[in-house]
Amino acid sequence: MKIMRSLIVENMNKIKKAVPLIENKIKIKISFGKGNVNLEGSAFDEFLVEKIIRAVDFGFHVEDALLLRDENFIIEFLDVKEYTYRKNLKEVRARLIGTGGKARKTIENLTGAIIVVHNNKVGIIVDNFHLDSVTQAVQSLIHGARHGNVFAYLEKQNVSRRQFDDDDLGLKKKVKKK
C-alpha cells in the first residue's frame, strides 16, 4: 500500500542534492513542495527515508545518513540546554568539538559514531551497542567532565565489549602453539 508522507525541512538545497543517492539506494519517490519534502513508497521505506532526510537536514553527510538503513544504527539528538545551566553555550559546543575537531573525532574513533553539532543540538548516528556510552560521553562533556576522563571511560567500555565478544564458546578450532 502506497502512502504519501510530507516533511518540513530547513535546508532544501542539501536535501535536493541528496535525493538521487537516496532514491538509488531505497525504492521510494521523493518530490518537493514549498518548504517540504513529499515521500511516496511503502510505509517502512517512508519511515526509513524520513530518518535519513532528517539526518541530512540536521547536517550529516548523505553517506553517513544512509547508515540508518542498517537496523543496528540509530540516530539520536541531544539538546545541549537540557544538560547544562551554563549561559555561554558557545563554550559548551566548543568542548564537544574540541580544538580542530579533535574531541569529536576521538569519540567517533573510539565508538564508530558520527557526531554533528548544530546550533545547540548534538546529532549522533551510532550502532545500538555504543549508543549508551556515546550519549553518556557527550552528556559528561556538556556537564564539564575532563576530556581525558571521558576518553578513558569510552576506552574502558570498548575493552569490556571486546572481552565479551572474544569469549570462546568452543566453536573455534584450537590452534596449537609451538
Strand-pair category, 121-127 with 3-8: unpaired
Distance CA 135, CA 150 (A): 11
* pLDDT tens-place string over residues 51-103: 999 999 999 999 999 999 999 999 999 999 999 988 899 999 999 999 999 99
Q: Are the C-beta atoms of 123 and 115 separated by less than 8 Å?
A: yes
Q: Are the C-beta atoms of 11 and 51 separated by less than 8 Å?
A: no
Q: Which fold has domain 3-69?
A: Ribosomal Protein S8; Chain: A, domain 1 (3.30.1370)
The rounded average pLDDT for each run of 10 residues, N- to C-terminus, in the chain (178 residues) is 73 90 92 87 91 94 95 95 91 94 94 94 94 95 95 87 54 53
Domain segments of the chain as ranges: 3-69, 73-165
Q: Do domains 3-69 and 73-165 have the same CATH topology?
A: yes
Q: Are the C-beta atoms of 52 and 68 separated by less than 8 Å?
A: yes
Distance CA 151, CA 153 (A): 5
Q: Which fold has domain 73-165?
A: Ribosomal Protein S8; Chain: A, domain 1 (3.30.1370)
Q: What is the pTM of this model?
A: 0.83
